[in-house]
Amino acid sequence: MGKVYMPKAKIKSVVVTGANGQLGSELQQLAPNHPELNFTFVTRQEVDLNDSNAIKSWFADKQFDVIINCAAYTAVDKAETEPDLAQAINATAVATLARIAKDQQCSLIHISTDYVFAGENYRPYQESDSTAPQGIYGASKLAGEQALLKINPPKSIIIRSAWVYSQFGNNFVKTMLRLGKERSELGIIYDQIGSPTSARDLASVILSIVHHPKLETLTGTEIYHYSNEGVCSWYDFAKAIFNYSGIGCLLKPILTKDYPTPAKRPHYSVLNKAKIKHDFDITIPYWQDSLKECLNSLNGK
């Protein structure tokens, strides 16, 4: 998991939205290791993030020290035909949570994405780099960031992540494991470059940040980047999944233009993590090491 900061602080009450998603599920797995935190996990069935009044009503008689917003509309291609729903969940709901955090003077930790960038950089993206999303999903996530920064609740952060996978939910790793067993040959894109992110590692870092004294010193909302260390293409990622899982399916590298999708993806979205490593005293695991851990969990090892 890498080095994380462990607490000597008071017991904190923490609410996690999107509790059944990849990141929310990993936080639920780690929660028993943190008895100094009182967790409340909230699913979309309990709070409809498409309804701001429902969100405000749910929080009306509750007080938390930290809100961790893992909920998001993440169907990148489907968002192109459902822009209103993507905007409601990824932006309007975030604004509502930001106002609640400001009113309650609690921390809001919100998860965003590398898709806020155009993907035309030549070096890892820093938090201060210009944003230019290429699709509805990225635009809705950027709108959520902008709303949060405008409302600017204290002790709050935005964490942009990328290529998130987990033993839970639907993701690239689980899709490759399934297709690799069903087919003899697969074409995988090799001209999109990024860094995979283990949702388990991201969850561990979030919990470390909850404890860290640096969080309490923030007067408003800060942006941070987090993914696992290292760089690869989707082809490299798939190749590693197959190699570690003993899958013999033949992989062929293909260009993005040979696999058209409704939403345009960034060609290069490697994130610079220097700021989060410095401010919160963390070391970040290499992507292949974390991939092996996830595959072991999926295989029951």
Q: Are strands 185-189 and 197-198 parallel, antiparallel or unpaired?
A: unpaired
pLDDT score of 140: 98
CATH of the domain at 82: 3.40.50.720
Q: What is the pLDDT of residues 178-222, one digit of tens each?
A: 999 999 999 999 999 999 999 999 999 999 999 999 999 999 999
Instruction: Clarify whether 73 is annotated catalytic.
Output: no
Residue 40, pLDDT > 60, answer: yes
The DSSP H or E segment spanning 250 is: strand 250-254
In a domain, 68, yes or no: yes
φ, ψ (nearest 5 deg) of residue 222? -115, 150
pLDDT score of 145: 98
CA separation (Å) from 104 to 91, 154, 227?
20, 10, 30
pLDDT score of 188: 97
In a domain, 184, yes or no: no
In a domain, 135, yes or no: yes
Helices 172-182 and 234-245, axial angle in degrees (round to 10): 60
Domain count within the chain: 1
Q: What is the pLDDT of residues 42-82, one digit of tens each?
A: 998 999 899 999 999 999 999 999 999 999 999 999 999 99
Domain that holds residue 44: 12-170+197-227+271-284
pLDDT score of 90: 97
Q: What is the pLDDT of residues 81-132, one digit of tens each?
A: 999 999 999 999 999 999 999 999 999 999 999 999 999 998 999 999 999 9
Dig out the tokens for 179 from the structure: 């297709």
Tell me the pLDDT band of 300, cut-offs 50, 70 and 90: confident
In a domain, 74, yes or no: yes
Q: What percent of the chain has pLDDT over 90?
A: 93
From the candidates 5, 73, 115, 137, give the one annotated as an active-site residue.
137
3-class DSSP state for residue 159? strand
Tell me the pLDDT band of 4, cut-offs 50, 70 and 90: low
125-130 long-range contacts (CB < 8 A, ≥24 apart) are 125/225, 125/269, 125/270, 125/271, 125/272, 126/225, 126/272, 126/274, 126/275, 127/160, 127/223, 127/224, 127/225, 127/272, 127/275
pLDDT score of 299: 80
In a domain, 179, yes or no: no
Tell me the pLDDT band of 1, cut-offs 50, 70 and 90: low
Type of residue numbered 82: E
φ, ψ (nearest 5 deg) of residue 187? -100, 125
3-class DSSP state for residue 150? helix
In a domain, 264, yes or no: no
In a domain, 300, yes or no: no
Q: Higher-confidence residue: 8 or 277?
A: 277
Give 111's strand partners: 159
Dig out the tokens for 18 from the structure: 């999107």
198 within 8 A of 25, measured Cβ to Cβ: no
In a domain, 164, yes or no: yes
Q: What is the DSSP string of 23-72?
A: HHHHHHHHGGG-TTEEEEEE-TTTS-TT-HHHHHHHHTT---SEEEE---
Tell me the pLDDT band of 5, cut-offs 50, 70 and 90: low
Q: Are strands 156-161 and 12-17 parallel, antiparallel or unpaired?
A: unpaired
Q: What percent of the chain has pLDDT over 70?
A: 97
